[in-house]
Structure 1
């Protein structure tokens, strides 16, 4: 650090400024009506239902049913399908195998005025109707909705189990995935008659979940033993998804709602606006306070604090290519504010250590070097403790769709499972990223900028750093 040159300040400042601007506005290109995003900005941040408004519901098997993991997977596929049928595209679904819970969250849709969340949730939890039908013909009901028109071959009650299977090609090493069906005695004869008829005409048997066709395989053989397979260009994931959907139509249980809450988008937007305004006012007051109290050190601290906030927003929006975006909730905003407070605390500790060194009569370079060195241990201990707490929060209250929660929940926090308190994960995530950015900005970048400024003759006055004697740098 003693060899930091004059241009370093301008380089670091430019990096922080460009990083902050790209975080706020993002990087986009537009050709006609097509907009291509290269870097996500704050406008791309996904807002949680506590801000945007929406529904948070938890389903469990009704009665004393102890569902298997396969049955829970199948039930989840049914819910996903019904969400899509209700035109709910921005939803979050989580499975907690340990507690046999399915957690569903989705925000209010833009422009909704007559949406009935209670009815929507009721429809999500209803037992799915699985049917196998001759052909793929459809018709419309009295509401104009598309419904299947073919004769029913089988229902969910006729299917004992659907599963995935694969065969490996010895020459190429590729695995061909299929979906296998095992039928109950009630379905064997009906399926034999249908496949005998359709095999001659090279017809199809379509598979429907409620009023949605999920597959339409062609009949390529007469099935008399109740064991069939569906082939196609399946991957393991797509084959398992189809098997789960078929199994969901034959679930031996219905789902009941054990937790249900809604939040008005007006309330969420009001809370967001209040917190944003409060945050901006607080940041401005902090900048003024730091500059008045610590002068040049306060200017540097203010620049790095802005960079720290930009880093947290970048992590949430998906600015960094190696990690996906996360949902920002009101507790997440609280995590941002708390980490800014800890960043201010780190700058105050550093400023006071430098002041102490200057009061001892040390030269400017020596005081700066010693002050940053002495302050680092206290900053490190405080931030490390906060990071550990945030990791516990993310592991305990995270949801499996998050990359960080996957890491934590499949290592030391595997026993927690998914919870209905995903908003707490948002708090832990923003707090952790804020504290990491505090190390980068408040410690590393601030030291580079301060040591660089001390190279300029006009900034070699102890008064600018809290001292009282004019000295030259070493």
Structure 2
């Protein structure tokens, strides 16, 4: 029988729309201004800190919606931003620098919705507010580090081949000069080094000296690799630290843009990015006198570093291993002693280095050195910020046996410290320090204004389309409007479910555009039905031909739009991707609502009946 859906298909349409409505509900509850308290550098927020926070709030008569302690972090929700800001200041005064107190926006989704996976859409920086940083990679440090590694390799290679040299020293423009002990060996050394290091330009500068420097192609490659590695590591660091939907992308030759939606204070954002430091594993010089070393009397190959308690430790200058060789790390407890430990996995090169080092240094202590570059507040002659290097020994452990790609770091004070260390190790070490050259805070008020303007545009567009469809297509226009509302519900629900979807201002434009394209399919169907009626086709056959005949045109038009959106998403960045996602989803959903949804409504009213006239 024409124009009749089986029961299962009607139930399917209703069920899909109901599920979309259910998962779009969290967006109605909005977000609460909140203050989040978490530990720094091994600290953890416990019940004692929880009681202190409650005491501060009570003493200052600050009303709260709720306060909870979960996973070593305290989240306090407030009714308004005034109470939120005052509470943050008072809590900072009470807790000091041992805890990170950050402004945040916490979803107000009811627990029953959270239990089934419901959450609101992620908003971009332009809608939610947050912070944006333009960061520059310190290429001089990256190239200097590469130069040091090259010189270490050269010493090893020269000794292995029994070429005698007087010195291997740094020169201008990150070049290295090798001064040989015997002039007669210079041609052989030059041939050997050209074979070993094809990416280097090797030139004779005197009868017994060679100059080695990176070729232009190798220099460009080194710069690109440093930026790309830092970019990848920054992404993992921010994800590990729990910032939702960050935007981290390259800009130009040596710069990186970092956008953190929802982070309201710049200090907290800097703290998140401040974890982007390097880690080094170094052997402890046990033969050196610590007291004499503190006074400056120590071997040329060693230096003094302090641990977190201010105690001096004498370390060899040359690092055994850097954080760039670490591929994975996890925290846990030692099965024998029950003390916290961190299990580390290295890449093949790092595993070989560690294997040889531990084989030669059994029962000797090895230290993990945390190196961080901070803004000194000063600028050089070019206007760039001068970074100050801060170093701290975070633990010293004895090498108990030979190990390679997998080993454990012990001697850690607490499980929280082990967790923090595993995050830092797992996220990798930067190949070069970075500095913030520009910072910008987008306030939530500006984001609210963007949302308001976007909502107005969307509602005006939706209202005009609804009125037009009702006037021009009457009852069939009502069917199209119901399908259009269902399209919006499904789009919001799907955007809320997809983990990588973020709503931006261009994304709202994509939604508004998809409103027009959604009814466009119904216009084609309805006009085809009217044409069939003018051709004297029976009503039921006209409806059937209208839907079947227009389907090919609708499918082709929507497919090309979806393909264009996919290309936009693939080559675009940030806001362009937001536009592409909402447009593609809106068009794809309209294929379901405008064809299957309206067909179900038409079938319920007109299907299987003797109809003389359509309200179209």
- Fold match by TM threshold 0.5: yes
Cα distance in 2 for residues equivalent to 1:71 and 1:212: 23
Once the two structures are TM-superposed, the CA of residue 15 in structure 1 deviates from its matched residue by: 3.2
Which residue of the partner structure matches residue 408 of structure 1? none
Once the two structures are TM-superposed, the CA of residue 90 in structure 1 deviates from its matched residue by: 3.4
Which residue of the partner structure matches residue 331 of structure 1? 506
The aligned runs of 1:209-224 (5 Å cut-off) are 209-210=371-372, 218-221=397-400
Once the two structures are TM-superposed, the CA of residue 298 in structure 1 deviates from its matched residue by: 1.0
Tell me the number of residue pairs that the alignment of Structure 1 and Structure 2 aligns: 386
Residue ranges of structure 1 left out of the alignment (5+ in a row): 135-145, 167-175, 199-203, 398-420, 467-474
Which residue of the partner structure matches residue 384 of structure 1? 559
The aligned runs of 1:4-23 (5 Å cut-off) are 4-5=4-5, 11=11, 14-15=14-15, 18-23=18-23
Change in 2 beyond 3 A, CA 1:129/1:160: closer
1:350 matched to 2:502? The reply is no
Q: SS state of the match for residue 56, structure 1?
A: strand
The aligned runs of 1:271-286 (5 Å cut-off) are 271-286=450-465
1:354-406 CA-to-partner distances (Å, cap 9, x unmatched) read: 11111222111111111122222322222112111101110001xxxxxxxxx
Among 319, 325, 337, the alignment partner of 1:163 is 325
TM-score normalised by length of structure 1: 0.65
Once the two structures are TM-superposed, the CA of residue 294 in structure 1 deviates from its matched residue by: 0.9
Deviates more, 1:268-277 or 1:75-84: 75-84
1:274-309 CA-to-partner distances (Å, cap 9, x unmatched) read: 211332243233223212211221121111111111
The aligned runs of 1:102-121 (5 Å cut-off) are 102-109=256-263, 112=265, 115=266, 120=270
Cα distance in 2 for residues equivalent to 1:269 and 1:313: 18
TM-score normalised by length of structure 2: 0.52
Contact 1:51–1:267, Cα closer than 8 Å, also in 2: yes
Cα distance in 1 for residues equivalent to 2:242 and 2:509: 28
Which residue of the partner structure matches residue 178 of structure 1? 345
Cα distance in 1 for residues equivalent to 2:479 and 2:436: 53
Change in 2 beyond 3 A, CA 1:208/1:35: farther
Which residue of the partner structure matches residue 445 of structure 1? 597
Q: SS state of the match for residue 258, structure 2?
A: strand
The aligned runs of 1:391-402 (5 Å cut-off) are 391-397=566-572
Contact 2:20–2:494, Cα closer than 8 Å, also in 1: no
**Higher RCO structure (Cα 8 Å, ≥6 apart):** 1
Once the two structures are TM-superposed, the CA of residue 310 in structure 1 deviates from its matched residue by: 1.6
CA RMSD of aligned residues (A): 4.7
Contact 2:131–2:261, Cα closer than 8 Å, also in 1: yes
Change in 2 beyond 3 A, CA 1:294/1:149: same
Q: SS state of the match for residue 158, structure 1?
A: coil
Cα distance in 1 for residues equivalent to 2:234 and 2:314: 21
Contact 1:159–1:183, Cα closer than 8 Å, also in 2: yes
Q: SS state of the match for residue 536, structure 2?
A: coil
Which residue of the partner structure matches residue 151 of structure 1? 312
Contact 2:487–2:589, Cα closer than 8 Å, also in 1: yes
Larger Rg: 2
Which residue of the partner structure matches residue 427 of structure 1? 579
Cα distance in 1 for residues equivalent to 2:271 and 2:408: 34
1:290 matched to 2:501? The reply is no
Cα distance in 1 for residues equivalent to 2:474 and 2:605: 13
